[in-house]
């Protein structure tokens, strides 16, 4: 994520922008390829881009949000929107002392297991809460991998097999 995206996100966060509207506008633009192409095209006149933005209902609801999008259009930085959204989300998590955790697993654990995992991660990382993003990955063979606050915890069968292979290779070298 670029420093420029972080600065834009910080400005929006500091202004108290409504996250729901902010994300709805980003999704609308991202999910509408013709709209996105027009707004990201440097050859399209900035006034035309602003007229397009002014017609979007989600931006009519908040003058600050409309002005933010106008600024991005004027500076030809609309392509930064996904990065800005990610940085904005990170700032929200930090404000709530919440960590984002990516979990890859073969089978999604039940609610009680996930609650226990969240509690353990909160204790390990001194957080009030953990937001889990779960994806299935049959290549792990079993177990799970967690990525949180720059740490990776690999409790997968594939990871254990890789560790065993490494240990065997190290012993051969001795």
70 contacts 100 by C-beta, under 8 angstroms: no
pLDDT tens for each residue of 32-67 = 999 999 999 999 998 999 999 999 988 888 899 999
C-alpha atoms less than 13 angstroms from C-alpha of 146 in its C-beta half-sphere: 19
pTM confidence score: 0.76
Please tell me the distance from the alpha carbon of residue 119 to that of residue 57, in angstroms, as a whole number: 41
Across the chain, what does the average pLDDT equal? Answer: 92
Short-list 94, 71, 90, CA closest to 82: 90
- The mean pLDDT of 125-151, rounded to a whole number, is 95
What's the mean pLDDT in 152-164?
93
Cα 91 to Cα 31: distance, rounded to the nearest angstrom: 24
In whole angstroms, give the CA distance from residue 138 to residue 132: 19
- Lowest mean per-residue pLDDT among 16-20, 123-127, 155-159: 16-20
């Amino acid at each position: 994520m670029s420093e420029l995206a972080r600065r834009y996100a910080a400005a929006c966060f500091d202004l108290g922008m409504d996250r729901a509207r902010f994300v709805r506008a980003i999704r609308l633009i991202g999910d509408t390829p013709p709209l996105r192409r027009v707004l990201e095209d440097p050859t399209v006149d900035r006034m035309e881009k602003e007229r397009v933005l002014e017609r979007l209902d989600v931006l009519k609801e908040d003058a600050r949000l409309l002005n933010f999008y106008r600024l991005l259009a004027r500076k030809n930085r609309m392509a930064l929107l996904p990065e800005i959204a990610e940085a904005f989300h990170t700032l929200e998590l930090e404000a709530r002392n919440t960590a984002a955790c990516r979990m890859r697993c073969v089978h999604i654990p039940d609610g009680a297991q996930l609650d226990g995992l969240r509690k353990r991660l909160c204790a390990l990382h001194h957080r009030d809460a953990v937001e889990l993003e779960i994806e299935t990955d049959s290549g792990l063979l079993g177990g799970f991998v967690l990525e949180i606050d720059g740490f990776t915890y690999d409790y997968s069968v594939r990871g254990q097999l890789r560790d065993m292979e490494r240990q065997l290779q190290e012993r051969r070298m001795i």
